[in-house]
Structures are given as structure tokens and as C-alpha cells.
Structure 1
Amino acid sequence: MKTKIKKGDDIKIISGKYKGKYGKVSSVLKKNNQVLIENINIKTKHIKPKQTDEKGYIKKIEQPIHYSNIKLATQIV
């Protein structure tokens, strides 16, 4: 499906947990019709230690949002 949204576009989220927020597209995943938005939809992932002398850690990862849940922002307030 062809989308008009490109990397670097300013968008507004129109549905979901982050409804009403504005952001900038950091990348477009065409295969899944999803986009990554800077500082939106951040999830925490707990990483287990691989070896006995390592420590585990928590990593924050941006998750993609389906393009049907966003629209191009004409004006950022």
C-alpha cells in the first residue's frame, strides 16, 4: 500500500495510547505499513545476562505504530 508519509515528516497520532501527540517520523517500515516516531511508544525490554560474570540491564526501545493511526500534521502547537 502506498503511503504519503516519509522520514522526517511531522505527524499527529489520531488513535491509541498516544492520541493527540505530535512527533517526527524516524523511519518507515513499508513491509508492515508501520512507522517509528521519535520519543513515542517507548517500551522497556529486560535483557538477561549472557554469561555468569555479566549483569542484566533494561533497554528502552521505540516500537512502530501502524500508519492508519497517524496523519500528517499541518501545524505543530
Structure 2
Amino acid sequence: MSAIAWGASSSGTEKIATVIGWLFTSSGCGLLFGAPIAGAILDATRPHLTYIPIMEYGGATLIIAAAALIVMRVNKGLKWERV
């Protein structure tokens, strides 16, 4: 659902396939590299295995991604309005 919403709101209907393709590609990169990175972080917490550093890593990447989207939206000059 988020890919459809982003595609419809960002570039219009003429480029929706390209936008959705890029969204799925970026999601695929996160899925491909996220698990090995989480495993490496978990291995680094031995002998007391804890998932807190993995949650912190996930939260940090989420905040960085949100900031990047805000910067791109501001640079593109899009107005903030309700859809």
C-alpha cells in the first residue's frame, strides 16, 4: 500500500511504474542487507545476547530514512498538504 501511495502522490500517474520500481528496489536492498547486519550486531553482544543494539540500529536507520525523505521533498519544492 505504501508504494502505491508514494507513487500516486510524488510523480503523478505517468511515472508511477518507475517510482514503484525504485521503492521496491530500495526495500529489497534493506531486506537483503538488514539480516546479516543484525546478525553481526547480535554476535558482537556475546556472551550476553541482547536485541537492544539491533533495535537501536533499526530505529537509527528509520530516522535517517525519514530525514532523507524530508530533505528530498523540501528540495523538490513539494507543498505539505493533506491528501
Q: Same fold (TM over 0.5)?
A: no
Q: Which has the higher contact order (CA 8 A, sep 6+)?
A: 1
Whose strand proportion is higher, 1 or 2? 1
Task: Give the TM-score normalised by the residue count of structure 2.
Answer: 0.26
| TM-score, normalised by the number of residues in structure 1 | 0.27
When Rg is computed on C-alpha atoms for both structures, the one with the higher figure is 2
